[in-house]
Amino acid sequence: MVTNIKDFNDYNDLKNLVYPALTSKVKELKCFGYDFINQDDVWDLLYELVWSGRRGVALCDVVNDILNFNNEKLYKKFIEKKMNNDEVKDEVGVV
């Protein structure tokens, strides 16, 4: 049985496995009025904020992090990232 992030050959496999938790988190965010964030955003943000520097993260910890990460902090990071992406697009002339 695969129990650690490092045991997965492909992070998409892990994301698919925890997709129900990601969906639950998105529903929770929407209840608080954070409407523009989706499962992929939650996954990318948590990977960047929580898991990228850690080794041997257990599957149960990944699910726990998804379900219990602070909603406001997650959404603020989402907005910050989107604003930075929009600024980069403006600088290079992408519409």
Distance CA 93, CA 4 (A): 42
Distance CA 22, CA 46 (A): 10
Where are the domains positioned within the chain?
Answer: 5-92
Distance (Å) of CA 26 to CA 19, 57, 90: 10, 22, 29
Distance (Å) of CA 75 to CA 29, 44, 63: 8, 12, 18
- pLDDT tens for each residue of 44-95: 999 999 988 887 788 899 999 999 999 999 999 999 988 888 765 555 454 5
- pLDDT tens for each residue of 8-56: 666 788 899 999 999 999 999 999 999 989 999 999 999 999 988 887 7
Burial class (CB within 10 angstroms; exposed 0-12, middle 13-18, buried 19+) of 29: buried
